[in-house]
């Protein structure tokens, strides 16, 4: 077993993205293994039978297969996730994951959700954002307060995907508070670091580390 945690990741997956952001923020060093989702290595299947990313393998043999749990592992002692804000942040993240993510999927893939029109899927997702995200941004710079925190990092990758479905529409019609918040997040140094490209990992490769040092 490696003495360095091993992170199986895929650069464009929003769940893997938010796990990398949390690790980068704390500057915990992991061995990163970039996978190709259509041809996943047997080593990934061996540690996680469901075969999804991210997966974090700890030196003690523990395997963490949920992105939010990886974030909490990284941030458990960090001021980014202070204890007095923990319940509020977790509630918002879980609400997002269970309510907004299905609306986002329907908006991205309307051909799989024919009960409603593409416009209706767009409206449903935007209504959720207005009611649950934009109302917070009317009161704070970020989702919880004036600081960028766990909840911002956990939710931003998915709103980035929402904006990318119809970028011209998003720029013209999305709430300016939402646009400004997303711009701040994507212009932060942690976004560029978390989106660094790594070659596909194969068994026998020399370790590659994240965050990279030097």
CATH of the domain at 152: 1.20.1050.10
The reported pLDDT for the residue numbered 3 is: 82
Interval 184-211: pLDDT, tens: 999 988 788 888 899 999 999 999 999 8
pTM score above 0.85: yes
Its domain, for residue 21, covers 6-78+194-210
Residues 53 and 120 in one domain: no
The total domain count for the chain is: 2
Q: What is the mean pLDDT of the chain?
A: 92
Out of 38-47, 52-61, 75-84, pick the least confident: 75-84
Residues 115 and 178 in one domain: yes
Out of 61-65, 179-183, 196-200, pick the least confident: 196-200
Residues 69 and 105 in one domain: no
Residue 24 contacts residue 190 (beta carbons within 8 Å) = yes
Residues 87 and 109 in one domain: yes
pLDDT of residue 214 exceeding 70: no
Q: Tell me whether residue 1 is in a domain.
A: no
Residues 185 and 111 in one domain: yes
pLDDT of residue 2 exceeding 70: no
Residues 54 and 113 in one domain: no
CA–CA separation, 196 vs 214, rounded Å? 14
Please report, for the domain that includes residue 26, its CATH number: 3.40.30.10
Q: Tell me whether residue 33 is in a domain.
A: yes
Residues 92 and 71 in one domain: no
Region of residue 33 (phi > 0: left; psi between -120 and 50: alpha; otherwise: beta): beta
Residues 64 and 93 in one domain: no
Looking at the chain, the whole-number percentage of residues with pLDDT higher than 90 is 79
CA–CA separation, 42 vs 90, rounded Å? 33
At 106, list the tokens: 């329907």
Name residues whose C-beta falls within 8 Å of residue 202's C-beta, 6 or more positions apart in sequence. 41
Residues 19 and 116 in one domain: no
Q: Tell me whether residue 52 is in a domain.
A: yes
The reported pLDDT for the residue numbered 120 is: 98
At residue 55, what are phi and psi to the nearest 5 degrees?
-135, 130
Residues 109 and 183 in one domain: yes
For the ranges 141-155, 156-170, 179-193, the one whose mean pLDDT is highest: 156-170
Residues 146 and 204 in one domain: no
At 184, list the tokens: 């701040």
pLDDT of residue 19 exceeding 80: yes
CB neighbour burial string for 174-188, b if at least 16 within 10 angstroms, e if fewer? bbebbbebbeebeeb
Residue ranges of alpha helices (H) inside 130-196 are 135-137, 150-165, 167-173, 176-187, 189-194
Residues 66 and 112 in one domain: no
* pLDDT grade for 1, boundaries at 50, 70 and 90: low
């Amino acid at each position: 077993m490696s003495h360095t945690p091993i992170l199986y990741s895929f650069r464009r997956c929003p769940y893997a993205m938010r796990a990398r952001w949390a690790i980068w923020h704390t500057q915990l060093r992991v061995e990163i293994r970039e996978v190709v989702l259509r041809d996943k290595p047997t080593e990934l299947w061996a540690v996680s039978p469901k075969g999804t990313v991210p997966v974090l393998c700890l030196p003690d043999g523990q395997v963490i297969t949920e992105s939010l749990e990886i974030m909490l592992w990284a941030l458990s002692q960090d001021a980014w996730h202070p204890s007095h804000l923990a319940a509020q942040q977790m509630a918002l993240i879980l609400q997002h994951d269970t309510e907004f993510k299905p609306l986002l999927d329907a908006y991205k893939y309307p051909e799989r959700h024919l009960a409603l029109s593409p416009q209706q899927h767009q409206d449903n997702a935007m209504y959720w954002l207005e009611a649950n995200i934009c109302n917070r941004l009317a009161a704070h710079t970020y989702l919880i307060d004036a600081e960028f925190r766990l909840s911002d990092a956990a939710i931003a990758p998915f709103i980035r995907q929402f904006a990318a479905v119809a970028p011209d529409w998003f720029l013209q019609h999305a709430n300016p508070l939402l646009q400004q918040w997303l711009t701040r997040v994507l212009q932060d140094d942690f976004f560029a670091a978390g989106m660094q490209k790594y070659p596909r990992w194969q068994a026998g490769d020399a370790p590659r580390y994240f965050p990279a040092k030097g």
